[in-house]
């Protein structure tokens, strides 16, 4: 009887293990709370997956003139398009990171980066995002994407990034 009981539990245990392995093989890796449709829209709009979430990539940055926080018409259209696309797939929460080049005083650059981020927030709210669902960070010149030693590099560093962080 004992041998029979042991075989039953061995068989039962192997069956459970088989079922668990089979089910886990059918699952896809979690996408941090985003649906496949949402991810598709993010990719279509130029977002790229980063360590912090889906970020509006370098190829589509919102750039600013030196010491300016106002969006030009082209940048405004980009932000409007992104905001509408995010809302269309029920992405309600974003973080907006403002950046500057390394010209000027650090404290001033921090304030300027917040003002830049807020100019993007204004456009996002105009297309329907709720202000309480938008986090703002002013990063000043701490996270350059190009060298601040060249004019072209400084231009690249004057930007705002829109980051989607899935819950």
Q: Whole-model pTM?
A: 0.77
Among 127, 122, 18, 26, residue whose Cα is nearest residue 82: 127
The whole-number pLDDT of residue 153 equals 92
pLDDT of residue 57: 61
The whole-chain average pLDDT of the chain stands at 82
CA 69 to chain CA mean position, Å: 21
R_g of the chain, CA atoms, integer Å: 23
Coil, strand or helix at 94: strand
Return the pLDDT at 167.
Answer: 64
Q: Could you tell me if residue 140 is left (phi over 0), alpha (psi between -120 and 50 degrees) or otherwise beta?
A: left
Structure confidence at residue 17 as a pLDDT band (50, 70, 90): very low
Find the length of the chain.
167
What are the tens digits of pLDDT across the range 67-105? 999 998 888 999 999 999 999 999 999 999 999 999 999
Domain boundaries, the chain: 1-30, 31-164
Output the CA torsion sign for 110, 83, 72, 75.
positive
pLDDT at position 72 is 85
Tens-place pLDDT, residues 141-160: 999 999 999 999 999 999 99
Task: Note the pLDDT of residue 66.
Answer: 86
**Which tokens hold the place of 70?**
């106002």
pLDDT digits (tens, 9 = 90+) for 25-56: 333 344 458 999 999 999 999 999 998 899 98
Class in CATH terms, 31-164: alpha beta
Q: For residue 14, what pLDDT band results from cuts at 50, 70 and 90?
A: very low
- The alpha-helical segments, DSSP class H, found in the chain are 2-26, 36-45, 73-88, 106-126, 151-157
């Amino acid at each position: 009887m004992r041998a029979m009981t042991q075989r039953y539990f061995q068989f039962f245990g192997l069956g459970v293990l088989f079922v668990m392995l089979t089910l886990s093989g059918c699952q896809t890796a979690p996408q941090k709370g985003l649906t496949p449709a949402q991810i598709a829209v993010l990719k279509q709009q130029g977002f790229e997956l980063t360590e912090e979430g889906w970020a509006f990539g370098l190829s589509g940055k919102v750039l600013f003139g030196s010491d300016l926080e106002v969006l030009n018409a082209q940048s405004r259209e980009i932000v409007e398009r992104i905001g509408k696309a995010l809302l269309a797939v029920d992405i309600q929460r974003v973080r907006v990171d403002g950046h500057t080049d390394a010209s000027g005083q650090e404290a001033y650059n921090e304030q300027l980066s917040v003002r830049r981020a807020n100019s993007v927030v204004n456009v996002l709210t105009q297309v329907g995002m709720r202000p309480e669902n938008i986090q703002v960070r002013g990063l000043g010149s701490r996270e350059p994407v190009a060298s601040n030693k060249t004019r072209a590099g400084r231009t690249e560093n004057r930007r705002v990034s829109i980051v989607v962080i899935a819950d």
